Amino acid sequence: MLPTPSTDHVTFENVYEPAEDSFLLLDTLSSRSEREFLRARFPATAGASPVVLEIGTGSGVVLAFVAANALHILGRSDIMTVATDINSFACHATKKTLQLALASNASENPSAPVPIFLDSINSDLASPLRAGSLDVLIFNPPYVPTEGLPDLSKHDKFNAVTEHGADSFDCNSHMLALSYAGGVDGMEVTNRLLGQIPTLLRKGEGVAYILLCAQNRPDHVKSLVRQWGSGWKVETVGSSGKKAGWERLQVIRIWQ
């Protein structure tokens, strides 16, 4: 069993705490079938380093897991990992989680090459990333159905890192709402990202992993992806919380 990266340094008042959905992503990405898929898709012998982006990293536990276990998951250690989050506190937390995970890896295997963590970026989804530059995209979206989305007109104020940290109740509830509130069907944010996937992924090579919950109507989401044409495929590659035949959570893989 691979170790879960430490997030002891993270303040969970304003950053999403690793939960069942995060752990489903860890299990799915390190499952035998996904390791085989990723190793065949990005063979170490083929040279060019894969770029792995996680959107909305929160504590950074998922991306740190992928980075620290790159050799196990992708069969190569020459990968680049990049993180984005709309919450600046999450960006700082993620940076620290990645640094700690890679350092603890390096101390355990001093002779092994260390995978690369590029940067934590404060952004909406993947908005500053160059088109066609991503090989692996991971997204654990705000998927809970809610009435409306958090009010972004106040985001700047809450997002500023002040000397005392932003510890007010309003700030914390705003930041946490951004991590879970998905609007109609819990799909408003995910739908925006889905629309950008064909542009963001490297043509013919990129692959995206997206977590969905039962209320997101995963079968409907998958049928929409299949309508993109151009050889786009989608499959459920991980699930948890089975109840009366329903998966509460699932991870879909989208690729060409």
Q: Which stretch binds another protein (CB under 8 A): 29-37, 59-67, 109-117, 234-242?
A: 109-117
Give the three-state DSSP class for 201.
strand
CB of 91 to another protein, least distance (A): 5
- What residues from 59 to 88 belong to the interface with another protein (CB under 8 A)? 77-78, 80, 82, 86, 88
Per the DSSP assignment, residues forming a β-bridge with 16 are none
109 binds another protein (CB under 8 A): no
Contacts with another protein by CB under 8 A: the residue count is 37
**Rounded distance, CA 78 to CA 50, Å?**
8
Select 78 or 185, whichever has its Cβ closest to another protein: 78
CB of 88 to another protein, least distance (A): 7
- The rounded Cα 66 to chain-centroid distance in angstroms is 10
33 binds another protein (CB under 8 A): no
205 binds another protein (CB under 8 A): no
94 with 85: CB under 8 angstroms? yes
Pattern 89-108, binding to another protein, x per CB under 8 A? --xx--x----------x--
Angle formed by the axes of helices 88-108 and 61-68, to 10°? 30
Select 26 or 158, whichever has its Cβ closest to another protein: 158
115 binds another protein (CB under 8 A): yes
CB of 122 to another protein, least distance (A): 5
Per the DSSP assignment, residues forming a β-bridge with 255 are 207, 233
- What residues from 119 to 138 belong to the interface with another protein (CB under 8 A)? 119-124, 127-131, 133
CB of 199 to another protein, least distance (A): 8
Pattern 141-180, binding to another protein, x per CB under 8 A? -----------xx-xx--x-x-------------------
Q: If you ran DSSP here, which 8-state letter would residue 247 be given?
A: -
Structure tokens at 149: 């989305």
- The rounded Cα 125 to chain-centroid distance in angstroms is 10
Q: If you ran DSSP here, which 8-state letter would residue 248 be given?
A: S
Nearest alpha-carbon partner for 13 in 93, 120, 98: 93
**Rounded distance, CA 50 to CA 128, Å?**
18
204 binds another protein (CB under 8 A): no
64 with 101: CB under 8 angstroms? yes
- Compute CA distances 140 → 11, 117, 197, 254, whole Å: 19, 19, 14, 14
Using CB under 8 A as the criterion, which residues of the chain lie in contact with another protein when the complex forms? 47-49, 51, 77-78, 80, 82, 86, 88, 91-92, 95, 106, 113-116, 118-124, 127-131, 133, 152-153, 155-156, 159, 161
